[in-house]
Amino acid sequence: MEDRVVVTGLGICAPNGVTLNDFTNSLKKGISGISFQQKLKDLNFGCQVAGIPDINEGYINRYFTPLQLRGLNASGLVYGVIAGTDAWTDAGLTKAQEDEPDWDSGIIFGTGILGVDKFRESIHLVDAGNTRRLGSTSVIQTMASGISAYLGGILGSGNQVTTNSSACTTGTEGVIMAYDRIRSGKAKRILTGSCSDSGPYVWGGFDAMRILPRKYNDTPSNASRPLSASASGFVPGSGAGALVLESLTSAKKRGAKIYAEVLGGAINSGGQRGGGSMTAPNSLSVQRCIKLALKNSGIESKDIDAINGHLTATGKDPVEVLNWSLALGRSGLNFPFINSFKGIMGHGLAAAGSMECVGALLQFREEQIFGNVNIEDLHPEIEKLVDKSRIPLKTINFIPKTIAKASFGFGDVNACVIFSNFKD
């Protein structure tokens, strides 16, 4: 008999908070983590604002051994280790003993690209004929699966340890992959999440595409404007989010706290057909993904109380809302509450889905729907579809029973997961 799957731990390392308490406070009060970046100005970026987690060397030292810190220059890896380790601790779990791994625990932790700054450093050393100076950690810092390998060694995981990568859907996809593995009885618990490097070498291509906002370098907190008529592009962000998914049997056996239940989800692609492209979604595939997520979760569209959208603050926001409306068959006052956290932390790329899943789940604990920011001028196409009351500008008191979280990424790929308020 298939077991139910619950979330027993959360961890975060985001531009608007590197602890759950700070992150929650930011989401509740709309406190922005987006700031001006002098380095982007020095490099002549059009967009000179970004979301970067505020962590210092002393904080990092809590999570890495002196050997691991030697030559460490991979921001995404740092963010992922912080979020992943904190999620494991939050779940009340301990590291495996030195003589044997924990065969029942695995890791599915994704990234888009890892160790960009370390790559740059390595290229200079190699080109200068100084290969021997690369150090023993250069490989693990730059391989995509370095993040899952690091966490696997820290925690002693003996089940599947792997890294997924699907652009902006990575984090949400990882939750569904972890759910499937636990549901099928192949693991008792999985640490899942995703991370993304920060810096100009990650964001330069997006600036060149002119899809980052250029009008808000002097007013960073106003730059990211999901759902707004004046949205002019996504603000680049970075960080990591992490969740511990666990079989209900295992969670109950050890008396774990439970944030929510994962009812199911769906992953698909638009095949870059029917209007879909490398950068634009196939609307039909988005709608199919949402509908299939509902079907796989055993619920109906009327059961969805709230949506945490992908909603990047581009011209595609109205298209996304239309897709939700068509997929759910709901509009106006009947539309679920909908929010986007990118207004205060930017678009974390591969890290976005996991950071936003953490935020979405915190709404169950807080018994609130977190507000949106920077949408005093709601996009008229969205206003035609959704009553303004369903897009709260401030955090509201509301006990959600079911929340849908979706992410849509470059390459025309989609993922949607359904969370519910846990009831035994």
- pLDDT at residue 193 in the model: 98
124 or 242, greater pLDDT: 242
Mean pLDDT, residues 16-33 taken together: 98
Mean pLDDT, residues 337-342 taken together: 98
**Hey, what domains does the chain have and what are their CATH numbers?**
5-253 (3.40.47.10), 264-343+371-420 (3.40.47.10)
Mean pLDDT, residues 93-102 taken together: 96
47 or 128, greater pLDDT: 47
Mean pLDDT, residues 71-88 taken together: 95
Closest CA to 312 of 279, 343, 353: 343
- pLDDT at residue 272 in the model: 97
Measure the CA–CA gap between 315 and 382, rounded to whole angstroms.
Answer: 11
- Tokens describing residue 320: 């996304």
SS3 content of the chain, % helix, strand, coil (to 5): 40, 20, 40
- pLDDT at residue 78 in the model: 96
Closest CA to 266 of 242, 243, 246, 286: 286
C-alpha separations of 16 from 24, 29, 178, 348 in Å: 9, 11, 26, 12
Mean pLDDT, residues 320-349 taken together: 98
- pLDDT at residue 1 in the model: 56
Measure the CA–CA gap between 40 and 199, rounded to whole angstroms.
Answer: 8
58 or 132, greater pLDDT: 58
- pLDDT at residue 2 in the model: 78
5 or 136, greater pLDDT: 5
**pLDDT at 191 exceeding the cut of 80:** yes
**pLDDT at 15 exceeding the cut of 80:** yes
- pLDDT at residue 67 in the model: 84
Query: Quick check: 401 and 420 in contact, CB under 8 A?
Result: yes
**pLDDT at 140 exceeding the cut of 90:** no
C-alpha separations of 223 from 209, 300, 386 in Å: 17, 36, 23
Lowest-pLDDT choice from 63-72, 302-311, 382-391 = 63-72
Mean pLDDT, residues 192-214 taken together: 97
Q: What is the mean pLDDT of the chain?
A: 96
DSSP-derived 3-state class of residue 60: helix
Radius of gyration of the chain (CA): 20
- pLDDT at residue 120 in the model: 86
Mean pLDDT, residues 170-190 taken together: 98
Residues above pLDDT 90, as percent of the chain:
90
- Does pTM surpass 0.95? yes
Mean pLDDT, residues 386-394 taken together: 98
